[in-house]
Amino acid sequence: MTSRIAALDGGTYYHHRTLYEPRYRDFFDGVIYTRELGETVLEDYDTLIVSCRTDPSVLRPHREKFRQFLESGRTLVIMGSTGPAEWISGIEWHFTPTNFWWWKEGGSLGLHVTAPDHPLFDHITLADATWHHHGHLIVPEGAVSLIDVGDLGSVLYDDTVTTPGRMIVTTLDPMYHHGSHFMPATTRFLDGFLPWLKGMTPS
Amino acid sequence: MIFPSPALSPGTGFYALFLQETAMGLCLFINPIKGAGDDLPDVGDHAPNIAQIDHYDLSDIDLSPYAALMLPAHLDQRFFGTLTTKIEGFLARGGTLVFNGHVAWPMLPEFETFVPLESQSLENLIIHRLADHPVFEGVDTQHLTFRRGVAGFYARGYNPPPKGAIALHGVGPDRLPCDWVYHRPEGGRILMHAGNDLWMYAGSKDSTARIVPQLCLWAGGNGDEDHEQGGAS
């Protein structure tokens, strides 16, 4: 049995490409326009993806809806640049200046895998998660960071302890870049990340 | 000239005196969605004669004080598509619309869905000038093609232009029209850029720094005047 996934559509061109074009369309059992989230029933879904760069001002009124979704044991995926601290409890996000040019300057983003046995890494490599990021997260006690940036914190963690549900939180923004036909790593990330989400056993 | 209410959060450098002296129209910049991150420059630091509002306030604002509407690539196009009547009215009164990004949803009759490049080879990413235009005067196409030596920031495809539009820049050997300007028979102008916000170049260190002030000067001008040169596409 596979997980039934819904994803939020912020109406941008990059969400459109990611959510509606054939490459990933079949992974999504529902696509919810963010401005219609209030009237959308989430009961049919096991997993809800808050797509990267979704406007937090549209998400703020739905704090209770997200909380209940997690209380009922489901999985919430929170992608980068969505301001989650504004609409969900327990997320500690720190902004970092974006280094767009590390790959030209002979440097490194400083990302490293911290849980190599995690099943996500059966689907992606560290290189598939390496483009840039806009911040880092402090991992809640008992949650598992999958990728850290230096010794600052996490850019992707898996939290099955804070709520009865599961939160997968990242500062990465793969939909924006895939949807912009920009940065092949972001497409490879989604090529692995979405099948991993789909293959989760519903609770 | 009717000046906007201070409640509309005009740009930090809003100079009423400058506007009166030059009879310039005011450009209204739509701030991108908040989730777009903090890595975008504040256009107000580089173009004093502008006003800015938050994305979703566009549905309530009276557009009559403004000469131009400047849309960010991080636009909720589904939302913007609910405002078609309002935007067509704004254009019919001689307004200028500047659109950045890839067209994904039907918003105006002049818009067609983005066509991506089939291959993103270097040759296909080179920007060619097809017609001179005040917005790009003195801007070296090499600086549009390469940013810090990397190609592909400017355009990776095109939004197909309506018949009668003037193609300004073409991408790749087929000169696919990634920038065009269209004078609507019903009034108003549309400047289309199929890429990241043109104001991304605000304060840049090369000739692309000319784009923002020239864009604001052109967009704030009288939309009924024909400033463009060059042949039809």
Bigger pLDDT: B218 or B46?
Answer: B218
Q: Is A54 on the interface with B (CB under 8 A)?
A: yes
Query: Span B19-38, mean pLDDT?
Result: 73
CB B43 within 8 A of CB B212: yes
Average the pLDDT over each of B9-23, B90-104, B132-146 and give the range with the smallest value. B9-23
What is the structure's pLDDT at A99? 59
Find the distance separating the first CA and the last CA of chain B, reported in whole Å.
35
Residue of chain B minimizing CA distance to A18:
B104
Substitution target in A8, A102, A180 with the highest count of B β-carbons within 10 Å is A180
Q: Is B103 on the interface with A (CB under 8 A)?
A: yes
Closest C-alpha to B167, from B132, B141, B140: B132
Spell out, as residue ranges, where chain A has pLDDT lower than 70.
97-109
Q: Which helix (H) or strand (E) holds B20?
A: helix B16-22
Q: Is A53 on the interface with B (CB under 8 A)?
A: yes
**Rounded distance between C-alpha atoms, residue B56 and residue B41, angstroms:** 20
| Whether A11 and B75 lie within 8 Å, measured CB to CB | yes
The rounded percent of chain A whose pLDDT value lies above 90 is 84
Render pLDDT for B31-81 as a digit per residue (tens, 0 to 9). 988 776 666 677 877 777 799 999 999 999 999 999 999 999 999 999 999
Q: How far is A125 from chain B (nearest CA, A)?
A: 24
| Whether A54 and B79 lie within 8 Å, measured CB to CB | no
Residue of chain B minimizing CA distance to A99:
B39
Q: Is A72 on the interface with B (CB under 8 A)?
A: no
Query: Span B7-26, mean pLDDT?
Result: 47
What is the structure's pLDDT at B12? 37
CB A7 within 8 A of CB A32: yes
**The two three-digit tokens of residue B170, written as one number:** 């073409």
| Whether B117 and A181 lie within 8 Å, measured CB to CB | yes
What is the structure's pLDDT at B148? 76
**Rounded distance between C-alpha atoms, residue B69 and residue A48, angstroms:** 35
What is the structure's pLDDT at B232? 36
Instruction: Indicate if the pLDDT at residue B149 is higher than 60.
Output: yes
**The two three-digit tokens of residue A44, written as one number:** 């049919």
Instruction: Indicate if the pLDDT at residue B124 is higher than 90.
Output: yes
Closest C-alpha to B112, from B147, B170, B163: B163
What is the structure's pLDDT at B13? 38
Q: How is chain B split among helix, strand and coil, in percent rounded to 5?
A: 30, 25, 50
| Whether A11 and B120 lie within 8 Å, measured CB to CB | no
| Whether A104 and B101 lie within 8 Å, measured CB to CB | no
| Whether A180 and B156 lie within 8 Å, measured CB to CB | yes
**The two three-digit tokens of residue B149, written as one number:** 């030596």
Instruction: Indicate if the pLDDT at residue B10 is higher than 50.
Output: no
The pTM (predicted TM-score) of the whole model is: 0.90
Bigger pLDDT: A120 or B231?
Answer: A120
Query: Span B203-229, mean pLDDT?
Result: 81
What secondary structure letter does DSSP report for B118? S
**The two three-digit tokens of residue B195, written as one number:** 């890429």
| Whether A11 and B35 lie within 8 Å, measured CB to CB | no
Render pLDDT for A113-147 as a digit per residue (tens, 0 to 9). 999 999 999 999 999 999 877 789 999 999 999 99
| Whether B56 and A16 lie within 8 Å, measured CB to CB | no
Q: CA A35, A36, A38, A41 torsion: positive or negative?
A: negative
Instruction: Indicate if the pLDDT at residue B196 is higher than 50.
Output: yes
The three-class DSSP label of residue A38 is helix
What is the structure's pLDDT at B132? 98
What is the structure's pLDDT at B72? 95
Q: Are strands B176-183 and B166-171 parallel, antiparallel or unpaired?
A: antiparallel
How many Å separate Cα B17 from the centre of its chain? 25
What is the structure's pLDDT at A107? 61
Query: Span B130-145, mean pLDDT?
Result: 97
Closest C-alpha to B127, from B102, B108, B101, B153: B153
Residue of chain A minimizing CA distance to B115:
A181
Query: Span B161-187, mean pLDDT?
Result: 97
Render pLDDT for B101-123 as a digit per residue (tens, 0 to 9). 999 998 999 999 999 999 989 99
**Rounded distance between C-alpha atoms, residue A174 and residue A61, angstroms:** 25
Which candidate from A12, A54, A101 shows the least CB-CB separation from B77? A12
Give the pLDDT band (50/70/90) at residue B20: very low
Look-up: residue for tokens 């049995």? Answer: A1
Could you give the residue ranges of the DSSP H alpha helices within B44-156? 77-80, 84-92, 122-125, 141-145
What is the structure's pLDDT at B3? 35
Instruction: Indicate if the pLDDT at residue B18 is higher than 50.
Output: no
How many Å separate Cα B226 from the centre of its chain? 17
Q: How far is B147 from chain A (nearest CA, A)?
A: 11
Instruction: Indicate if the pLDDT at residue B228 is higher than 50.
Output: no
What is the structure's pLDDT at B98? 98
Residue of chain B minimizing CA distance to A12:
B76
What is the structure's pLDDT at A113? 95
What is the structure's pLDDT at A182? 86
How many Å separate Cα A128 from the centre of its chain? 14
